[in-house]
């Protein structure tokens, strides 16, 4: 028997996994055992920080526009695949026999996986197992209002709690979910899920910051930003002679990685990933990246001057919206990839300033773990 069974499905980037791993680590710190059911493509670089990992038949999005699902062999998934995966997920639940089921994002995302999640939640409810949703602060906006109503109805029907990893002092869940008031009794704000050990990097950092750190998250998207950033170095007045570390990410296409590495100018270092990424950010004079949730938390917790270019393909809106809010608060500089040039990026990198202090909660992982431990205790 495990205390918490976590369901997580990454499709393109690895931000969902990174955030959930921080939460898993906090839950284990509270003495809870954690089993993760993962539906994404396996990657040895991914650390779920779990006691046990159940790998479901893997899939990912067919492209950055989220046009469909493909399996590990890049074949479109079919009904037989869905039946097989549902059976595996239900078997994993039966074996784990959890005291609580924690589902990442659904029903506020991952609608394509309702074929397996509705049966899973039916079994959990029948067994009297509390069901909790873990969801980031902002949702991708839906053009079809029927889908938004469906999210509300599923939340009301199945979930005991909706843990929103944000801070209402910055903005509430209603900023991107119009029916938030209809499920207000389910919602608990945990604060943002940020690294808890960031303070160790800050001592004396103002005297030692140097260079530019360019990153693309997991690397499944972001190649264009990396290539523009590399070209921007020669146009920078402040950092033309500084070291630039380029972090492509574990999912950056190998052929593109090889091409970049062969043409990289002197003074630039290309990395697939950096195990000490957060420590490097705390020492960097400027961070250049997309505007994903986790990278923003790294920026906030290390107080690093940052230039961000949000991912906005496939109707994705959350990076841009969150970035605009933080840009208006003086926390980051925000640019649009459309029309971005090496010269305009270099100008913003040169202008990047220390971020304004922002009074929001960054202890979301610890709060989440404490809430889940309390729910388990209350349902025992």
**Hey, what CATH class is 4-192+362-379 in?**
alpha beta
Q: What are phi and psi of 103, to 5 degrees?
A: -110, 125
Which parts of the chain have pLDDT scores under 50? 204-205
161 Cβ partners below 8 Å, 6+ apart? 130, 132, 133, 186, 188, 371, 375
Q: Is the pTM of this model over 0.75?
A: yes
- What are the structural domain ranges in the chain? 4-192+362-379, 198-351
CATH number of 198-351: 3.40.50.2000
State the Cα–Cα distance between residues 268 and 273, nearest whole angstrom: 15
Contact 245, 269 (CB under 8 A): yes
Burial of 332 (0-12, 13-18, 19+ CB in 10 A): buried
- Res 379: pLDDT: 63
Burial of 185 (0-12, 13-18, 19+ CB in 10 A): exposed
Helix (H) or strand (E) holding 163, with range, is strand 161-165
Q: Residue 60: CB partners within 8 Å, gap ≥ 6?
A: 10, 11, 12, 40, 41, 69, 70
Identical fold, 4-192+362-379 and 198-351: yes
Quick one: which H or E segment has residue 164? Answer: strand 161-165
Q: How far apart are CA 181 and CA 155, in angstroms?
A: 12
Predicted confidence (pLDDT) per residue in 133-178, tens digit: 999 999 988 888 999 999 999 999 999 999 999 999 999 999 999 9
Farthest-apart Cα atoms in the chain, separation = 64
- Give residue 311's pLDDT: 80
Using alpha carbons, list the distances in angstroms from residue 313 to 12, 108, 143, 292.
Answer: 12, 19, 15, 13
């Amino acid at each position: 028997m495990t205390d918490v069974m976590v369901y997580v499905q990454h499709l393109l980037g690895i931000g969902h996994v990174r955030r959930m791993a921080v939460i898993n680590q906090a839950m284990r710190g509270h003495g809870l055992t954690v089993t993760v059911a993962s539906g994404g493509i396996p990657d040895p670089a991914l650390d779920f920080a779990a006691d046990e990992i159940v790998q479901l038949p893997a899939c990912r999005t067919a492209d950055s526009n989220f046009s469909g699902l493909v399996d590990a062999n890049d074949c479109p998934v079919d009904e037989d695949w869905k039946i097989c995966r549902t059976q595996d997920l239900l078997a994993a639940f039966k074996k784990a026999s959890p005291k609580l089921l924690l589902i990442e994002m659904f029903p506020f995302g991952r609608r394509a996986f309702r074929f397996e999640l509705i049966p899973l939640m039916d079994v959990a409810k029948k067994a009297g197992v509390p069901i909790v949703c873990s969801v980031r602060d902002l949702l991708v906006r839906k053009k079809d209002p029927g889908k938004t109503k469906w999210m509300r109805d599923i939340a009301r029907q199945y979930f005991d709690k909706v843990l929103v990893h944000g801070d209402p002092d910055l903005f509430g869940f209603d900023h991107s979910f119009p029916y938030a008031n209809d499920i207000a009794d389910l919602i608990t704000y945990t604060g943002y899920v940020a690294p808890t050990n960031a303070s160790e990097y800050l001592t004396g950092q103002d005297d030692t910051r140097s260079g530019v750190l360019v990153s693309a998250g997991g690397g499944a998207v972001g190649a264009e930003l990396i290539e523009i950033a590399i070209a921007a170095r020669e146009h920078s007045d402040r950092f033309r002679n500084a070291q630039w570390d380029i972090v492509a990410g574990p999912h950056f296409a190998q052929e593109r990685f090889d091409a970049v590495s062969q043409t990289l100018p002197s003074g630039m270092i290309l990395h697939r990933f950096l195990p000490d990424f957060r420590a490097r950010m705390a020492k960097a004079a400027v961070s250049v990246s997309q505007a994903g949730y986790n990278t923003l938390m790294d920026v906030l917790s290390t107080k690093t001057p940052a230039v961000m270019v949000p991912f906005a393909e496939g109707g994705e809106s959350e990076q841009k919206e969150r970035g605009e809010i933080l840009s208006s608060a003086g926390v980051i500089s925000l640019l649009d990839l459309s029309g971005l040039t090496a010269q305009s990026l270099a100008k913003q990198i040169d202008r990047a300033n220390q971020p304004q202090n922002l009074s929001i909660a960054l202890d979301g992982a610890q709060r989440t773990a404490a809430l889940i431990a309390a729910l388990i205790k209350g349902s025992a």
